[in-house]
Structure 1
Amino acid sequence: MKLSELLAGHDHEVLAGDPETLITAGTCFDAHRASPGALFIAVPGHAEGGPESVGPALARGAVAVLVESAALDAPASASASAAGVCVVRVPDTRKAAAAVASRYYGEPGRAMDMVAVTGTNGKTSVSYMVESLLRLAEGAEVGVIGTAGSRIGDELIPMPRSVLTTPESPDFQYLLGRMRDREVSTVVLEATSMGLLNHRVDDSFIDVGIFTNLTQDHLDDHGTMDNYRDAKLRLFQGLCRRAVVNVDDAVGASIVAMMPGEVVTYALDSEADYRATDLSMDGHGTRFTLHHDGRKYPAAIPVPGRYSVANALATVAACHLLGHDLAGLVAALDRMPPTPGRFERFETPGGTSVIVDYAHSPDSLDKVLGTIRGFAKARVITVFGCGGDRDVTKRARMGEIAGTYSDLCVLTSDNPRYENPEAILDQVTPGLTATGTPFVRFADRRSAIAHALSAAGADDVVLIAGKGSEPYQIVGERLIPFSDMATVRELAGA
């Protein structure tokens, strides 16, 4: 497609070269991923690209460049001039990138039902639930884009390791194009706060946006809770046609007045279009009554907890809003497979229940431990830590939460990244100490899990929190293979 066609209707200025240049190899932000025929988009501050990477991108065959500034450094300017490359200035390269990538792949979001899930907690669980319900109830082919990668059904779509939970717009539109070409009927994606703030899902024609909740997290990225909230709310300010929102959450309730399109509500404690009452929970799941439009539906999910019921309500509401039969959706709830790394269970030969969960924020840890405390027959032992190079203000609070609910805590490393693991544990310790709950420290995560399992007896519950289904630990620049559940199984001799 011609560059002029990709940019039609978008504010731009041609600085050099021919705007009729054909783009035949897609678009990219990363200079090392440029190839002959590509459009390189020089996003300021991008780790693998930016204006300083124009020269390397041209050396790899890029035939056109989008920039925000008219000034290129001398080597890049000379390279562009010598190669006859078209250089175009746009006001915002990220906004332009989304529009250009969508057009390049033929606006694939228009061809499928698009569901975007945002909120602090529940994005992955709701995404998996939407996929499971549509597959179970109707045999639908569903694409998923999120924390665990991108896939169509059980088939992973290979992508570079650097691709984010909400991919940058060139990768995101490529994935949508792949899914459309495979005749996927519905795509469900996790829309992170940074993904929304950086325009990664712009121009994707989202049919339903789901808001789960807002609690403290990602302050290392956003600075304040107000900034974090505003990034989430971008989804409901023109990016989605309709919304499904949790009105038990104050921010969710505010979306009702904000949305230009239809809003459907769900709640456990407030009046809403979809409500749940009569919750009955044990260690294997939750039964409840779903209320909608004056009717009652007996329902069950194979996951314990009020928060899991809230996720189920969001899922059912979104799928029903897309036109799927409500009774069939509710009937399929109790057949949903477990979401990897989300309240994932294992029982040791000695009768200890082990739960692996992604809980890595104060609110998510509180909800998971509160649920476990509600059904545990004996002791609760919690293995947890806090990620490095992330919001330090939540560390002592998470220690306090773990200590409040647990009989024993095993403090360990999560993803230390570039921080000293022992220094992170030092910052968690005051919160734990204040509760009086006994605890031990093992910076080595495998040793921590081994200690918890050896200390646990029959009917005890061991929660291993923080990493969920992640297959690695991040230490500095290294991704070290490590799976919580695989480690549990190995240590238990399973």
Structure 2
Amino acid sequence: MKLSELIHQNEIILLPKEIGDIEVNGVGADSRRIKPGELFFSLDGSIANMYDAVIKGASAVVTDTVTDGRFPVPTVITKDAREAFALACLRIYGDPQKKLRLCAVTGTNGKTTTANMLSAILYEGGYTSCVIGTEGADFGGETIKTGYTTPPPDVLAPLLKRAADENIDFVVMEASSHALDQKRLCGLDFEVGIFTNLSRDHLDYHKSTEAYSAAKAGLFRKCRHSVLNFDDPHAYEMAWAANDEIWYYSAKDFDVDFYADNIVHTEWGVQFDFCSVGAREHISSPLFGSYSVLDMLAAASAASVLGIKARLSARALERFHGAPGRMERIDTKTGFHVIIDFAHTPDAMKNVLSAARGFTPGRVITVFGCGGDRDCGKRAEMGKVACNLSDTVIITSDNPRSEEPNDIIDDIISQIKSRENYITEPDRGKAIELALSTAEKGDTVMLLGKGAESFIIVGEKKLPFSDKEQAENIILKKGL
């Protein structure tokens, strides 16, 4: 493919005369993996990485930083290297996004569940869809793990090409704040964008809630329809950024486009009426909690905007039992429940523990930790939430990375006033075994933070570990 086909003239600030229109074999942004003949995009302006790419055979270097580096290959100066890289990745795969209808979900919590709900509704409406998110890219029977909530452009573009080649109608994506800030979605236009909610998270990266919210709002500049949670105060920030039509949904206010009425929480799930102008459909869902109502509202509202009838949304949601690792239940012979959930923020923890309180006649026993090398400011807040809403809390490890697990635990317990209802056990496997061994009939054991993850990160090593497998093995071994 020619350079001029990958980077258009209006995206270039400086193009060396001697470059001509060179042939390019591929594109890359990781100098360690660049192959001969590929175009290297320097996303951070690192001279060392540029030299490394050139040594490995890069045909040219693309950067948005004017550099004194003298390379034996041409250097192209672009207006924005990240945007240029995202566009080049799409172009080299034939712009597959143009053959697809794209939807995206952003927010602190609920992205995975809402995306999967929307996919289920699309299927009920007669459409095929692919979900790309935290659990990978789901092509209906085959899941390709990417290691990202929103993959980088060189991973995302081939996934979109496969979806286009397989004539899939819709791609439903989770849009993370990191991806939006890093312009991974540049070149993509979304038919519908959904905002679920916004609470504290990723402040190690964004530094402030304002910057975090602004990153999320960037999605809606790319959307034809913006479907926003009216119950969240940050919805207005998303609306200000919206490029076209705005739709609101609410579980509290009836003066919006879509709302929930007659909400009833039971020990078997939640029931409510999904309402819009001229339509009312009853939904009886096996999911729990007020946050599940909002997730269903988000998905059903987006589907309505796409032209899918409310009765089809209701039918799909009544059969939807949750995304992997999201309020995923394991039953036991002893009569207590084990629930696995990805909740790793104070707000998400509050939501799932409040839901557990609603259907648990006995004790709520919570096992959780906080990730290392991530927003340490939320640790103490999560400790307080866990102790306030649980009868017993076992504080343990959760991807400690380069930090010492006990140091993270010290942060978590730093603002807990009473030691009466928590203990610490840095070994997550032992913590889960302790929780299950002490549970009795009527209790609920909440394993929080890792969801469907199949690993735990210690130092730079990703070691095999699954909360679900660990719990199932203990239940089997102990005959629980």
TM-score interval, smaller chain: over 0.9
After superposition, the Cα gap between the structure-2 partners of 1:181 and 1:284, relative to the gap in structure 1 and judged at 3 Å, is same
What is the distance in 1 between the residues matched to 2:33 and 2:43?
14
CA contact (8 A) 2:279 2:310 kept: no
From 444, 447, 450, the counterpart of 1:464: 447
2:159 matched residue in structure 1: 175
Shift, 1:24, TM fit? 2.9
Greater shift in the superposed pair: 452-461 or 16-25: 16-25
What is the distance in 1 between the residues matched to 2:304 and 2:387?
41
2:60 matched residue in structure 1: 64
What is the distance in 1 between the residues matched to 2:384 and 2:232?
23
Residues 1:489 and 2:472 aligned together: yes
What is the distance in 2 between the residues matched to 1:189 and 1:406?
34
After superposition, the Cα gap between the structure-2 partners of 1:154 and 1:61, relative to the gap in structure 1 and judged at 3 Å, is farther
Shift, 1:154, TM fit? 2.1
Shift, 1:174, TM fit? 2.3
Shift, 1:16, TM fit? 6.4
Aligned residues: 475
- Residue deviations 1:41-86 (CA, integer Å, cap 9, x gap): 11117xxxx4422233234443222112332545xx1xxx2xxx44
From 305, 313, 324, the counterpart of 1:329: 313
- Residue deviations 1:123-176 (CA, integer Å, cap 9, x gap): 1111111122222x13532112111112311212365xxx52211222222221
Output the amino acid matched with 2:35.
S
Equivalent residues in 2 for 1:349-388, closer than 5 Å: 349-388=333-372
Residues 1:24 and 2:7 aligned together: no
Q: What's the TM-score, normalizing by structure 2?
A: 0.95
What is the distance in 1 between the residues matched to 2:342 and 2:272?
24
Shift, 1:218, TM fit? 0.7
CA contact (8 A) 1:113 1:322 kept: no
Output the amino acid matched with 1:223.
K
CA contact (8 A) 1:51 1:67 kept: no
What is the distance in 2 between the residues matched to 1:141 and 1:205?
19
Shift, 1:215, TM fit? 0.4
After superposition, the Cα gap between the structure-2 partners of 1:17 and 1:473, relative to the gap in structure 1 and judged at 3 Å, is farther
What is the distance in 2 between the residues matched to 1:487 and 1:283?
26
1:125 matched residue in structure 2: 113
Shift, 1:17, TM fit? 4.3
Output the amino acid matched with 1:317.
S
What is the distance in 1 between the residues matched to 2:126 and 2:52?
46
- Could you tell me which runs of 5 or more consecutive residues in structure 1 were left unpaired when the two chains were aligned: none
Shift, 1:353, TM fit? 0.2
Shift, 1:437, TM fit? 4.2
What is the distance in 1 between the residues matched to 2:239 and 2:43?
34
2:5 matched residue in structure 1: 5
After superposition, the Cα gap between the structure-2 partners of 1:242 and 1:291, relative to the gap in structure 1 and judged at 3 Å, is same
CA contact (8 A) 2:287 2:321 kept: no
After superposition, the Cα gap between the structure-2 partners of 1:16 and 1:148, relative to the gap in structure 1 and judged at 3 Å, is farther
What is the distance in 1 between the residues matched to 2:397 and 2:268?
28
Shift, 1:340, TM fit? 0.5
After superposition, the Cα gap between the structure-2 partners of 1:461 and 1:16, relative to the gap in structure 1 and judged at 3 Å, is farther
From 230, 252, 265, the counterpart of 2:248: 265
After superposition, the Cα gap between the structure-2 partners of 1:19 and 1:383, relative to the gap in structure 1 and judged at 3 Å, is farther
Output the amino acid matched with 2:65.
S
2:283 matched residue in structure 1: 299
CA contact (8 A) 1:222 1:228 kept: yes
Q: What's the TM-score, normalizing by structure 1?
A: 0.92
Residues 1:35 and 2:29 aligned together: no
Output the amino acid matched with 1:57.
A
After superposition, the Cα gap between the structure-2 partners of 1:375 and 1:401, relative to the gap in structure 1 and judged at 3 Å, is same
CA contact (8 A) 2:223 2:243 kept: no
Residues 1:97 and 2:85 aligned together: yes
- Could you tell me which runs of 5 or more consecutive residues in structure 2 were left unpaired when the two chains were aligned: none
Greater shift in the superposed pair: 238-247 or 482-491: 238-247
Residues 1:451 and 2:434 aligned together: yes
Residues 1:317 and 2:301 aligned together: yes
CA contact (8 A) 1:245 1:265 kept: yes
1:138 matched residue in structure 2: 125
What is the distance in 1 between the residues matched to 2:222 and 2:431?
44
1:150 matched residue in structure 2: 137
Shift, 1:117, TM fit? 0.7
